[in-house]
Structure 1
């Protein structure tokens, strides 16, 4: 970062804030503390917003220090000021005149520290060539130049210093090592690089705390706790002093988001610290009703799921949920179709069904139950459509073929790998190293959740927790992602479902015309509706189900065909795009490889091409290992 202005106003202030600011950081300092006085970022964005950005990029334009000409009086500057401004020729002049590059200033700060914090790569190279010690401690906190670069978020400087042999395991005066500092200041690109270079994600600082403990205790919010867990940080590690786990730390800090992520990752609610306190005990001490409720709820839920019966239910939950939805739909239809004039009896029976639904939802809560609910409801609806057709209409060959195609394409959509991008741990580390050292650790081509280099037109699905090649969306009706390998099956499933609904309309109308006395001219609309309800509530219920599923499937099908034929975009690309499709930015990668960001296909493709698109089986179009998805 450039530091301009008079030495007494900018650099002296910088100098003081570096040291006195450091001195003000006790062990409990948080990530939002200004590590270098006035040098802290004006805001602390979430991980994805900050990933790969330097401090210069996060400062607003009005906050950028005004540049001034160095040609006026740089020849008279001392070497510290020349280093801060990056005046290489002046620094060379003073060093050649006899200045020792290892000599610290009056506050024990070396020239290499100043060059590192201001991201002066040429000066760092020059000073090290003249004998500067890369791991020399300086400042009130006894920090190395690497520590200063990390606190300021200069990834290129971190890479350069480590190439010259900087040791990231050295601790500063507060006991923090390089990885701990990068987590505290939420510089995730640097943290990813350090872990790729071999730093242990569970490595303790001098106080025995792991990076996950610091993240849970000092940074309110889901990140970087979630980032560390994605990188296999231990959720049950304990510190050396108080034997606290990361969950203890999150509860003590009142960090609800971090506690939720730790609990989902399997953190123990019964672990005791050195004083015999569990996270629930600490939640009572900090007087947090939300944390108390959350921890007790998770504890009771885990106790229930430890029973053999619930383990069996959880193993077969997909089939059981489908059977439950089928039974509920059938019960509702049978009750309203009862040959009884007593609506009180029907109301009582419907209330009983609602009670069963409420009981089931209470005993089987959680994301897994909720995520399967739309898919189970859809299949239960299709099942009763088939039953109703077989009972109330003449079975025809076309309907049988339609029903078979619907079930086939639905199963293929659910079971086919949508194009998950997979990588081994070694490949993940190599991706981080290659992209970081090339200056391309950009969230558009690097997934911070999966720690992989994303091929073009690849998106991360948070429901599947994986990167999907040419992802369109995550469908609640199939409980799976729609991507490069199953998109065509999904299109054909929508077509089959629409045709199924049309057949049901035909069957219901045929049944009503043969079995119900409908006189629209005499009784009007309400008379016809009343006649339909009294004639066969079951058929009317199935008609409404078919109408609902036909409506949403038809709308999605039209949207899909429009996006494929005229936009050349997936739903995810169209939703996330903040700029016109023709705007393309290029990021250069090593070995002359480049990636362009923008529309993946030319708009204006004819509709017949879109209709033929689902039938493409060309290998290069369906292989998620390629770096570009057309």
Structure 2
């Protein structure tokens, strides 16, 4: 432990605490200074208990009476240790002014006050001790430096602050293990690992005892998520591009094969069903073995592009020969819709959605500034990207980046939608809807020209069966078209409603809906700091003046940290 009993040396059951009776440290769990306990009379407390409870005046009284602040107690623990573990900042300043040694070793684990504060996750105390000259590279009785302890107990803000103040991310412990090696062995879940990888640690460093790299330790510990992350950290971009190409090629082939089977001359739907099941089995094996389950996140994008490709082929080879020479407007409109769809899909996918970018020096400066002002929390700082978070920005888990005025991570484009490409995304939805409508119109024209079924005479079921039998491929593509048209038109409507009437992004609206369900007080979607009225919302989003009637607000949401022109600030962080 940090200063006490030898019985608790495991890192798996929470932070090490000093050997102290519960009555001695009622505020220790929260690490916050609290009021004097009602049952205790400050005048009767010894200096150790007074330090644990933060009784500044009592401590001063005893020190002025001659108590040596450097004198350890019977457990070899100094007053500075007790003040550090209980986050008593004023007492730390006072003891140091009276000659306390900032790096005094004490307790069963021979730890410094900085080690104790780090184990407990007291960032303000860590900041204070470093300012007072504490050495974070010192090793305790278990062989760990401060950064190793912060990693073991997953205190991310402390890790960030120590590195920003110059601590080496590849600092080794007594056994030559780096923080990265400890993380893959001890940490639960992928987040601590992702956090450390942001600091560019060495992936090839080996420890002194086993001569293992972090990857070796991850494999030995059975930490499969860490193995994947380490391989990705050193993976070639070309390999990822090949995987994406394989997903797209398999999707194109799979969609064609479904249509081909449905279009077979055989009337046995049982045979066709068997062939479709066999095809599904073969494709699942292909995806599992060659593409990999992790790359299935690209599947919706590949399905959309494959759908657009076969929808286009169906138009040009099935529907276009049926159109008359007088239907020139229809031909031009369809071609225009397809070109617009592909262009704005590409713009949405390729345009920077508004990633928050900072240099390494700026990151360290922000970490130090936020930590030393007590603002290094998840509302103002992203522990994954190591950046100060502007208003309305959100960290996207899929992209592993913070995005300004984040709307969503689009399932269909495989890209985040933010301030940089939201406009293109709306146009993509519009042209996808328009393309779908014209293709459905072409389907009806094709059926009327080639299928003998009559809806009024034959009834709905007979009409459906005859049209499907008439041209299974056209029926198959029309169902795919109907699906894309439906979701695109509905989502376009929702997007326009949010932009015009609420002035909110999809993420902000969902957060408010969740708050509305859990809050006892009414939460309004329309009364937010970002809703400036329908016309002003439109002018701001599209950055148009509407013939001089409105003046768009020019806001750089990648660097906007305060509401400088809006009056309703109370719900900013909750939105």
SS of 1:411's equivalent in the other structure is helix
Aligned to 2:193: 225
In structure 2, how many angstroms separate the alpha carbons of the residues matched to 1:83 and 1:415?
59
**2:475 — aligned with what?**
540
Structure 1 position 219, deviation (Å): 3.2
The aligned residue for residue 405 of structure 2 is: 470
**Whole-angstrom distance in 1 between the partners of 2:343 and 2:273:** 38
Q: 2:140 aligns with which of 172, 181, 189?
A: 172
What is the CA–CA distance in structure 2 between the aligned matches of 1:514 and 1:221, rounded to whole Å?
60
1:484-541 per-residue CA deviation (whole Å, 9 max, x = no partner) reads: 1111111111111111111112111122122222223432222101210122222211
Which residue of the other structure, out of 407, 426, 449, is the alignment partner of 1:491?
A: 426
**Is 1:24 paired with 2:7?**
yes
2:62 matched to which residue of 1?
Answer: 94
Which whole-Å CA distance do the structure 1 matches of 2:377 and 2:111 have between them? Answer: 28
Matched residue count? 536
Aligned mates of 2:483, 2:135 — CA distance in 1: 63
1:562 aligns with 2:516: no
Could you tell me which of 377, 380, 384 is aligned with 2:310? 384
Residue 599 to residue 248, structure 1, CA distance change in 2 (3 Å): farther
1:136 to 1:481, Cα distance in 2 relative to 1, 3 A: same
Partners of 1:192 and 1:325 in 2: CA distance: 43
Cα displacement (A) at 1:412: 1.0
> Counterparts in 2 of 1:418-497, with a 5 A limit?
418-497=353-432
**What is the aligned partner in structure 2 of residue 325 from structure 1?**
251
Report the CA distance between 1:600 and its aligned residue: 4.9
**1: CA distance, partners of 2:241 / 2:223:** 33
Is 1:373 paired with 2:299? yes
Q: Per-residue deviation at 1:313?
A: 7.9
Superposed displacement of residue 363, structure 1: 4.2
Which range moves more in the overlay, 377-386 or 315-324?
A: 315-324
Determine the structure 2 residue equivalent to 1:152: 120
CA contact (8 A) 1:31 1:186 kept: no
In the other structure, the counterpart of 1:68 is 37
| RMSD of aligned residue pairs (Cα, Å) | 3.4
Question: What does 1:226-625 correspond to in 2, within 5 Å?
Answer: 226-266=194-234, 315=241, 318=244, 321-339=247-265, 341=267, 350=276, 353-354=279-280, 357-358=283-284, 360-366=286-292, 369-390=295-316, 391-393=318-320, 394=323, 395-577=330-512, 578-580=514-516, 599-602=528-531, 605-606=533-534, 615-616=542-543, 620-621=554-555, 624-625=558-559
> Quick one: distance in 2 between partners of 1:260 and 1:327?
29
Which moved further from structure 2: 320-329 or 213-222? Answer: 320-329
Q: 1:367 to 1:460 in 2, by over 3 A?
A: farther
State the 1:549 CA deviation. 0.3
Instruction: Specify the SS of the correspondent of 1:481.
Output: strand
**Deviation readout 1:177-234 (Å, 9 max, x if unpaired):** 1111111222221111111111111111122222222222233333423322232223
Which string of whole-angstrom CA distances, capped at 9 and with x for unpartnered residues, describes residues 1-41 of structure 1? xxxxxxxxxxxxxxxx86442x2344x5435264335799x
Q: 1:181 matched to which residue of 2?
A: 149
Distance 2:171 2:407 in 1: 39
Structure 1 position 129 matched with structure 2 position 97: yes
Residues 224/373 of structure 1: CA separation in 2 closer, same or farther (3 Å cut): closer
1:277-325 residue CA offsets vs partner (Å, 9 max, x unmatched): xxxxxxxxxxxxxxxxxxxxxxxxx9xx9xxxxx988645555644543
Match of 2:167 among 193, 196, 199: 199
Contiguous gaps of at least 5 residues in structure 2: 324-329, 520-526, 545-551, 567-575
CA shift, 1:136, in A, is 1.2
Conserved? CA contact 1:620–1:626, under 8 Å: no
Task: Give the Å deviation of 1:93.
Answer: 2.0
Once structures 1 and 2 are overlaid, which stretch shifts more, 491-500 or 224-233?
Answer: 224-233
* CA distance in structure 2 between the aligned counterparts of 1:76 and 1:530, rounded to whole angstroms: 93
Taking structure 1 as the reference length, the TM-score comes to 0.77
SS of 2:424's partner is helix
Structure 1: 5+ residue stretches without partners = 1-16, 41-53, 267-301, 306-310, 584-597
